[in-house]
Amino acid sequence: MRDPGETITNLLVDDRGIIVDTLSILPDSFQGEKIDLQESHVFPGFTDTHTHSFEGGLYSFAANLGHCRSLSDLFAELKNYEPIDGILVGFNFDENLIGEKRFPSKKELDTHFPYIPVLLRRIDGHSVQINSKLKQMIEEWGNITLPGNEPYRGKWNDYVCHQFHRNISEDWVVKAYKRGATIGIKSGHTTIHSMIGDAASDPLHYQLIAEMKGEFALDLILYPQIFDVNRALQLKSHRVGGCILADGSFGSHTAALTRPYCNDKNNSGRLYKSDDEWDEFITMAHNSGLQVAVHCIGDAAIKQILRAYIKAERGNRQNLRHQIIHCELIENDEVIDLMSEYSIAAVMQPAFDRLWGGENGFYAALLGRDRALNCNRFRSLVRGGVLVTGGSDWYITDLDALAGIDAAVNHHNEKERLEPYEAIKLYTSNAARLTGEEDRFGELVAGKQADLVCLSENPLESENIAAIGIKKVVKCGRILYSNDL
């Protein structure tokens, strides 16, 4: 992944797992151990640059409601699962896909589950429904009275979900992260970025996982997902933020737009904080040497955070590669030019276009066809000189780099499609540059870690990249996963 036309057939790796040399032909005099990768197509191990791997791992034990087409389907699916630490959880719910076109009411959940607490999360994570049993528990945990409206959105969605996560036992926390690491490795990842915290002031189990990092087979790059710069520094983090929210989501009509939603003419979403609040936080973090990452969906939110990043950079140029997470709607090409000029990275999810793009897709229904074409502008950003990386936003979409690469190559808008080599870079060399670790991994060259994903087909030539099989995953020269396809 250093040059599109460059390939090798042998890697010489030392005992530390560092590549010593790349060879076309292995000399007859070689005396070390030989590992035959059996005609695999070998690339640097994938890096997912945006996951909620605690939730992803935790929800892998929960009911996936994405295939439900009615409320009766939903209730039946929930009854097939065991509670997570005493709470029955369903995720990936999309009310637009079921006949009733709505969430189940609290009363309906109480009827089906009168004695067990229940939590249902929308596919985008920005709406949640709970039953009376869980409502009572959350009110007791927080010594607060929740509002009567349902489902919960905005700040109350965040509050309910964070109370749930905050009260999960330590055993379940560790179990969730270990499950997440296993899922990551089996899908070809050797590094994943993980957001930890309540998007306010509580870093939750950041310290616990930071102390355990050596116990995970893959690399975890941790983000204290908080607004507290001093706390991030105390935690010895190099970054702060993650899905700290500049706005909400399209599905909940809370993504901040410069023009109203097509199906809600009086609503343009909303910015969650003022310019002054963002300026103060971002400048403080920037001057402390911390990379900042902020969730921005709508074009108004992207512009707001970009202004704050530029202001901080102009005051103290550091090239920290601050991140605009998601970066979904860009209508003005000047935004791309400014992101390139000030080294602002776009941490994006190709699966979003796969799920919601197209002339008759979800984006078009909410934003109109023209604005939908300006969503997830991979090619424009890459060709405009912006550092773009690939992520899943897992648990929102699957932790699956090959599916992400495939989605970027087959974008609904032909003008925004990437070439396969460009798409693979999102998950390899670009991902390493995002955190300033391009000297450590991301390419198969001398001096870098022997982190490898071994594939059954060449994604540079395949017509169905998402279906390519993963044969082996290697971390620092050690085989972590092997699958005889």
d(CA 439, CA 193): 18
- Asked if 397 and 362 touch (Cβ cutoff 8 Å), the reply is no
Alpha-carbon distances, residue 404 vs 46, 48, 51, 157, 328 (angstroms): 11, 10, 13, 28, 15
- Asked if 221 and 391 touch (Cβ cutoff 8 Å), the reply is no
Domain positions in the chain are: 1-62+169-485, 63-166
Q: Specify the pairing of strand 118-122 against strand 127-130.
A: antiparallel
Q: Residue 149 has which token pair? A: 């409206």
Q: How many CB atoms lie within 10 A of CB 279?
A: 17
Residue 29 has a pLDDT of 86
d(CA 33, CA 469): 26
- Asked if 302 and 330 touch (Cβ cutoff 8 Å), the reply is yes
Q: How far is CA 437 from the centre of its chain?
A: 19
| Residue spans of the chain under pLDDT 50 | none
CA max distance for the chain: 76
Q: Specify the pairing of strand 470-475 against strand 478-482.
A: antiparallel
Helix (H, G, I), strand (E, B) or coil at 433: helix
- Asked if 261 and 267 touch (Cβ cutoff 8 Å), the reply is yes
Residue 485 has a pLDDT of 57
Domains 1-62+169-485 and 63-166 fall in the same CATH topology: no
- Asked if 57 and 176 touch (Cβ cutoff 8 Å), the reply is yes
Strand-pair partners of 482: 472
Task: Specify burial of residue 259 (Cβ count, 10 A radius: 0-12, 13-18, 19+).
Answer: middle
Residue 22 has a pLDDT of 92
* Whether residue 104 has a cis bond before it, omega within 30° of 0: no
**Residue 241's closest CA among 279, 195, 306?**
195
Please, which residues have CB within 8 angstroms of residue 361's CB and are 6 or more apart in sequence?
Answer: 372, 412
Interval 218-272: pLDDT, tens: 999 999 999 999 999 999 999 999 999 999 999 889 999 999 999 999 999 999 9
Please give the CATH topology (third level) of the domain spanning 63-166: Diaminopimelate Epimerase; Chain A, domain 1 (3.10.310)
- Asked if 336 and 384 touch (Cβ cutoff 8 Å), the reply is yes
Interval 428-449: pLDDT, tens: 999 999 999 999 999 999 999 9
Task: Please state the pTM of the whole predicted model.
Answer: 0.92
Residue 365 has a pLDDT of 96
Range 1-62+169-485: architecture per CATH: Alpha-Beta Barrel (3.20)
Evaluated on CA atoms 35, 23, 39, 479, the torsion sign reads: positive
- Asked if 218 and 480 touch (Cβ cutoff 8 Å), the reply is yes
